[in-house]
Amino acid sequence: DIVMTQSPDSLAVSLGERATINCKSSQSILYSSNNKNYLAWYQQKSGQPPKLLIFWASTREPGVPDRFSGSGSGTDFTLTISSLQAEDVAVYYCQQYYNDPRTFGQGTKLEIK
């Protein structure tokens, strides 16, 4: 199985500041035939199901605010929130869909400082 490891486990950021969450896969999830990274980011607010934010490592899902961005390739990826808003308090998960079983990171809890 591909192990997804996120850092940090929790993060407190001031409103309006940048938040950065990292995700590392135990093997490359870059598919050479199409040069795409098979990685998604999800946001889960308390008591709700996860919501897809980013796919192909850097493509924003329609309707997701542009303060959310994804970057990285191969085994190292980053989710950045450029200017933290109160409604961004949540747990964030990365997930690989390169091969089965599909696996998630352990989650990063984002709070307001």
Partner 1 sequence: QVQLQQWGAGLLKPSETLSLTCAVYGGSFTGYYWNYIRQPPGKGLEWIGEIDHSGSTNYNPSLKSRVTISLDTSKNWFSLKLTSVTATDTAVYYCVRGRKSSGRPDAFDIWGRGTMVTISS
Residues at the site binding partner 1, with contacts judged by CB under 8 A? 34, 40, 42, 49-52, 55, 61, 93, 95, 97, 100-107
Q: How far is the CB of 51 from partner 1 (least distance, A)?
A: 7
Of the pair 16, 101, the CB lying nearest partner 1 is at 101
Of the pair 70, 81, the CB lying nearest partner 1 is at 70
Report the alpha-carbon distance of residue 95 to residue 43 in Å, rounded.
11
The answer to whether the beta carbons of residues 6 and 105 sit under 8 Å apart is yes
Q: How far is the CB of 104 from partner 1 (least distance, A)?
A: 4
If you count them, how many residues does the chain have?
113
Q: How far is the CB of 90 from partner 1 (least distance, A)?
A: 14
Residue 87, classed as helix, strand or coil, is: helix
Of the pair 16, 49, the CB lying nearest partner 1 is at 49
Of the pair 75, 97, the CB lying nearest partner 1 is at 97
